[in-house]
Structure 1
Amino acid sequence: MAELLVVRHGQASFGADNYDKLSEVGHEQSRLAGQALRDAGWVPDRLVTGTLERQKETLRSMGFDAAPEEHPGFNEYDFHDLLNVRFNGDVPPAVKGERKTHFRTLRETLLDWQEGGCVGAKESWADFSGRIAAAMAFATDTTARRVLVVSSGGVIGQLVATALQAPKPMMMELNLQIKNTSMTRFVFSGSRFFVSEFNATPHLAPQERAGLLTYS
């Protein structure tokens, strides 16, 4: 079987006007992730990202020089849009700026979205899950034996939940656990794919790198 390694992007710019850029910590996380793969002798022969800048910046900082392919199915759900729909365009300041409040509210919103809530959002849950399935089919329709994808936490949570045939709410439980630049490994053959490793961060394991472990 071939391998598909899905890496979550490095730390983005939480609270900034433009979230879709890596922080300095995000660039360092990405550099270390790429070095760890090369040290382990795992060099991809196909590269894929979504179209988000934080995903593309992650791959560049990982140090793999080949031109990547892009598939928008690997993009994250639009959490700003979902929160705006839930709060009718008036998102409370605490939801925007306090991490604990933000992620608690986001979890509640996502669970409602999965059950048909957030009517009027740019993307329905069915559309989100459908495009991820299409992105996975794109990434695994290949003769490559090692495929590296840089994506986002919600996408990775949905891919793992799908592979495990888990109930819909499990996607969000997984999403909230996924660390920046963590590695989730699948093995695949044709349209069949299985989880072989989840949310691994060997490049951040040394004690002196504890401060580089982030979730947003």
Structure 2
Amino acid sequence: MGAIYLVRHGQASFGAADYDVLSERGHEQSRLAGAELGRRGVRADEAWCGTLSRQRATAAEALAGFAPGVVAKEDPRWNEYDHVDIAAHHGGGAAQDSADPRAYQAALESALAAWTAAGACSGADETWPAFLARVRGAFEELAARVGKGEQAVVFTSGGVIATLCGLLTGDPAEGLITFNRVVVNAGITKFVTGRSGTTLLSFNEHGHFEGEARKLLSYR
């Protein structure tokens, strides 16, 4: 069987004018994720990331630690949904608030639920069906290329990972909400692929943030 590892980006700049920049903690998390992949002996036979700054920076930091010399290929299909646009159309324009991240999370989940329910009728620049199609397409194309014994690593975002986990467990729209709620920064999710198809093997592994590294654990 082949293996695909999806790594969520490190902590971005929640509540800042430009969210799409890794925080200092985010850089540390990215390096630690790379060290964990190296500890496991993971190879980057294929390495990918989205085109967002936080995804590209996480890929560079992590790959330097376990696959030096490998540069992740960029594919915008691995990009996150546009939370600002979705909030504008389905959440009353709720903005990130670093002083109350729980309230923002509740508002985001409400907006995401309305977005998925609206389907192709949403006024958002990217509808839920379009998001699902691009994410699914990128994943299925990669799974088809990963041969027996090969390993691929993708640096992406929580919504992408949550949607794919939901897709493989029965309901991508529900998965977008429930899996996304708990995915950690620089967490690792593993899929295996073979003749019988693709299977979710583990979700959101973050043992590399236990013990002395516990202080680096974050969700937003």
Give the whole-Å Cα distance in 1 for the aligned partners of 2:157 and 2:196. 22
Q: C-alpha deviations, 1:59-99, integer Å up to 9, x for none?
A: 111114312212211111000001112356xx35xx43131
- Matched with 1:105 is 107
| Greater alpha carbon shift after TM alignment, 64-73 vs 10-19 | 64-73
Contact 1:6 1:184 survives alignment (8 Å): yes
Query: 3-state SS of the aligned residue for 2:43?
Result: coil
**Superposed, which structure 2 residues align to 1:13-92 within 5 Å?**
13-62=13-62, 63=64, 64=67, 65-86=69-90, 91=93
Contact 1:48 1:139 survives alignment (8 Å): no
Query: 3-state SS of the aligned residue for 2:88?
Result: helix
- Matched with 2:143 is 140
Match of 1:175 among 180, 184, 191: 180
Identity, % of aligned pairs? 35
Instruction: In structure 2, list runs of 5 or more residues that go unmatched.
Output: none
Give the whole-Å Cα distance in 2 for the aligned partners of 1:18 and 1:176. 22
The alignment's TM-score, normalised by the length of structure 1, stands at 0.91
Q: C-alpha deviations, 1:163-211, integer Å up to 9, x for none?
A: 11136223211101100010000001269211011100121122x2111
Give the whole-Å Cα distance in 1 for the aligned partners of 2:138 and 2:91. 30
Give the whole-Å Cα distance in 1 for the aligned partners of 2:180 and 2:90. 20
Larger helix proportion of the pair = 2
Instruction: Specify whether residues 205 and 161 from structure 1 end up closer, same or farther in structure 2 by C-alpha distance, changes over 3 A only.
Output: same
The alignment's TM-score, normalised by the length of structure 2, stands at 0.90
- Matched with 1:160 is 165
Q: C-alpha deviations, 1:127-176, integer Å up to 9, x for none?
A: 01000111102322324510000110010001001111136223211101
Give the whole-Å Cα distance in 2 for the aligned partners of 1:23 and 1:6. 20
Paired residue type of 2:30: S
Aligned length: 211
- Report runs of 4+ in structure 1 exceeding 3 Å deviation: none
Contact 1:140 1:190 survives alignment (8 Å): no
**Superposed, which structure 2 residues align to 1:109-128 within 5 Å?**
109-116=111-118, 119-128=122-131
